[in-house]
Amino acid sequence: MPVRLGRERFEELVGDALDAIPAQLLDLLDNVVILVEDDPPAEDPDLLGVYEGHALTERGWDYSGVLPDRIVIYRRPILAICDTEADVVEEVGVTVVHEIAHHFGIDDARLHALGWG
């Protein structure tokens, strides 16, 4: 049975996951915002998170005046695959790290090889 967890508590867990990332790494995030939404796009209902933007490795001399990149963590799909709040904490942590890694130019194949699903 999916975990029942309100949006406010879920947002706290995302904040906790960000707090667990070393400050030196967070300091390297550039022009990116991290958001929580309840549901992913209808065409990908099982999506747990997404990175939208230009990875640091793709930015060149002409990168300027663009809107911030977005990392979106989707609440309902994460709750749907978890049985306990502890499971949610773990999955949120993995998802946050996974999406931040995309900001640094690390692709899904490398993340899977490193164990970050």
Q: How many domains does the chain have?
A: 1
- What's 42's domain CATH number? 3.30.2010.20
Whole-structure pTM value? 0.91
Asked if residue 80 belongs to a domain, the reply is yes
Enclosing domain of residue 30:
7-113
Asked if residue 32 belongs to a domain, the reply is yes
Asked if residue 74 belongs to a domain, the reply is yes
Alpha helices in the chain (DSSP H): 7-19, 23-26, 75-80, 85-103, 108-113
Asked if residue 1 belongs to a domain, the reply is no
pLDDT tens for the chain, 117 residues: list them.
678 899 999 999 999 999 999 999 899 998 999 999 999 999 999 999 999 999 989 888 888 888 999 999 999 999 999 999 999 999 999 999 999 999 999 988 888 888 776
Asked if residue 2 belongs to a domain, the reply is no
